[in-house]
Amino acid sequence: MPVSCSYDPIQGSEIGQFAGPATTKFPRRSHRQHLRAGFAAVVLAGTTLGATLAAAQAADPPRRKHPAARHAPAETAEEVDVVARRPAFRFSAAQHAADSTIRLTGQDLIRRGVVSKTDLQNLAPNLSVQSVNGTSSTNFQLRGIGTSDYTQNSTPSVLTYIDDVAFPVSTMSNGMLFDIDSVDIQPGPAGFTHGFASSGGEVALHTADPTPQWHGGVTEDIASYARSRTTGYISGPISPTLSFRIAAETIHGGGWQYDPANRTHLGDSDETALRAKLKWTPDSRTTVKLTGHFVRDRSGVVVGQPMINLLGTRLPPNEPQQAYWDLSPRFARLIGRSPDTKPSEDNTFWGANITATHRFDLAMLTSISDYESERVGEYTDQDATTARTGDTYRNIVADSFIQELRLGAVDPDAKLQWDLGASYNRVRMYQQFFFDFSDYPLRGYLSETSFEQHQQTFAQYAHVSYALPWHLKIFGGLNHEADDRQLIGLRTVHYNVNALDFADTATNANQFSGEVGLQWQPSRGFMSYVKVSRGFRPGGFTANNTVVQDQLAPYKPEWLLAYEAGFKSEPIPNVLRLNGAAFYDDYHDQQYLGSFVVPSYGPLGRFTNIPKSEIWGLEGSIDLHPLPHLYLVQNIGYERGKYQDFSAVNSAATNQYYLAHHVWTPIYTSYNGVDSGIPKLTLNGTATLRFDPLPAHQIEGGLDWSYRGAQALVPGGQGYYRLPDYFLLGAHLTWRATKQHWFATVYATNLLDRQYYVTGGQATTTYFYIPGAPRIIGGRFGVDF
């Protein structure tokens, strides 16, 4: 059925018309009439007319589709001319994809105040996005799967993609959350239709593309603690076949932490980012996109608040917005920084990629070539005290090259859909870690560990689906991945004490992953599916502070069998949407950052493998449009994890033994049957009221909220070894003049001004929490054309 429509970027919805040769028209109805008609549509869903009405109400904004959704059930060729009212819900095509992906628009990110990747955890169920020890390294954990990898010596369990390009080093994607079109957060094993294998899922960012018409805009955002964020873009044609887009962002200020010892503010942003795109369409079958980006980040970092100090020294007051740190002149000289340097980043990221697609008669060919580079200089005070027991400086130089070739089906309505391709990744990395242990009784020196890591990965994948009778579809995918890593030239220098050289080490993996599933869609408004998949993640090394060769023993790849069943439904079209899923993961060789105790030295972090564990849970989302101007969204996640075969150092017991005897002795405990400590309950949602007080003017106001359950920092962790739960509430109010092309917004995050902690960690003698931001009140003003 042909469709003509226009997209409303303000609401992320379509105002469209479904056209046919007949002249029958349906008048607009009141909301109450529409509600009654919605119930009738459920009854009529099995009939031709019911399917046609549901299709009219589920018009979808034009955007790239998930491979599983490309071949949604075809519309019935009924000769009906329907004037469709604006749909309340977005991403209707995704309702026919056999997944539990959370899909967000760029406007969703703006409304919720998303500036960095860590803010995404407040928008999806069973998702944690945490800075590792307050650094620029970020750990994604989906459905309890994810590893806190400070040194980035392994591929993340949850891969980040930007415009279909995989980022194998987590920090390389920092500073990229501006001029975003949409975000897909997909849990579960992935890598069967693109990219590389992953055990936990993927987070895919889609940036806005060049447009054939002239568009542009600038937004100024000013908030508490002198924070300013300026974003802008311009997009338009260069010629009939060539268009461009340039977007930029700069963020400054916002440091809400205060150090009473140094009388300084901590955490001020100082970041500038630029992205440029060219889009060339020489003919109707070919598209070539060239993208380049640059990020310069000199932002301050948030310092932890200490909970336990094993040296027994007095802890500073654990007050909201306060933190303590100290940089010794001797350590400053060693790392080449000024003695008054605050905990901060000094990072540069840049990259370029070219994506070309050509549609042949039988297949669509896609080529992706990408180069990424990072230069990281990072000073953090990880013991969170004025003592010189855990000051850290990290220097990283890393480069990544990716080449991917992909073939896929052309006709989205064909019964047989298929994708196949291959990806190659090469990473070269050099790292230096400097530590100040001057006040640590067992050490008392400055230390440096340096090494190189070489890595290359080659993956091949294939995915097929076939539409069967009785509204069934069977699908399956396969991924083979070979990964090879070498740790070269690792050396640790304890200044004025000794120098230690370690033997090179290597690890490789050669494994298959895949999925198979069945999908059933008896009506346009209801779909259910079951699938089984095998996830895989390569192994790696622990290398940030090495004193014995045993620390460099590579940890093994992890793999899991994931079972999932779910449904997607719209029982009352344009009024109520219900989606849900249940999952069970049979987890093998789970990669885990535990403790390694050297008797004459103390505890050190070392990655190890948990032979056997399990995770299970539920997820659900509710979209409700109960009144003409009211829109409600609620996401719910519940998960539980349990160790089934796991023995490790008991950090709490080992620390207690040291406090009593002043000797480091590892105490091992069996954690068989112990809860793994992942956050059990996550909730997030929004309530939005939207209406037009004047012609061509719109007011939108709303609340947003999120809850995250407690999280254990060590196996079986309780007390200070368990991060507390928290609840956050936000609000916003926007006035938009659609014809004059301007808007003004006032907003607040953490409206109740709760004290909460977003993550935690351990450095030498201190266990600490990283606090979250206090109440932030701000305003945005923007113009566009």
pLDDT, tens digit (0-9, with 9 covering 90-100), for 96-120: 999 999 999 999 999 998 989 999 9
Q: How far apart are CA 242 and CA 119, in angstroms?
A: 35
3-state secondary structure of 4: strand
**Domain range list for the chain:** 3-96, 102-784
Q: What is the pLDDT of residues 222-281, one digit of tens each?
A: 999 999 999 999 999 999 999 999 999 999 999 999 998 888 999 999 999 999 999 999
Structure-model confidence comparison of residues 58 and 418, the more confident one: 418
- Burial (0-12, 13-18, 19+ Cβ within 10 Å), 433: buried
Chain-centroid distance of CA 329 in Å reads 38
Mean pLDDT in residue range 154-173: 92
Could you read off the pLDDT of 477-511 as tens digits, one per residue?
999 999 999 999 999 999 999 999 999 999 999 99
| pLDDT of 32 | 41
Alpha-carbon distances, residue 219 vs 295, 392, 448, 738 (angstroms): 19, 37, 44, 15
More confident site: 33 or 204: 204
Of 452 and 444, more confident: 452
CA–CA gap between residue 610 and residue 592 (Å, rounded): 7
pLDDT at 67: 45
pLDDT tens-digit readout, 701-715:
999 999 999 999 888
**Backbone torsions φ then ψ of 479, nearest 5 degrees:** -135, 130
Task: Name the least confident of 294-303, 597-606, 716-725.
Answer: 597-606
* 43-97 residue pLDDT tens: 333 333 333 333 333 333 333 344 444 434 333 333 444 444 567 788 999 999 9
Q: From start to end of 254-318, where are the E strands? A: 257-259, 264-266, 269-283, 286-297, 305-309
Pairing of strands 201-207, 158-162: parallel
Q: pLDDT value at position 312?
A: 65
Find the mean pLDDT for residues 689-700: 94
- Determine the pLDDT at residue 78: 38
Structure-token pair, residue 500: 């230690």
SS3 661: helix
Which token pair is 337? 């920084």
The span from the CA of 519 to the CA of 558, in Å, is: 28
598 within 8 A of 547, measured Cβ to Cβ = yes
Percent of the chain with pLDDT over 70: 88
pTM: 0.87
Better-predicted residue by pLDDT, 380 or 601 = 380
| 102-784 CATH | 2.40.170.20
The model's confidence at residue 318, banded by pLDDT at 50, 70 and 90, is low
- Model confidence over 279-303: pLDDT tens digits? 999 999 999 999 999 999 999 999 9
Taking all residues of the chain, what is their mean pLDDT, rounded to a whole number? 87
Average pLDDT (666-689) is: 94
Distance CA 48, CA 25 (A): 16
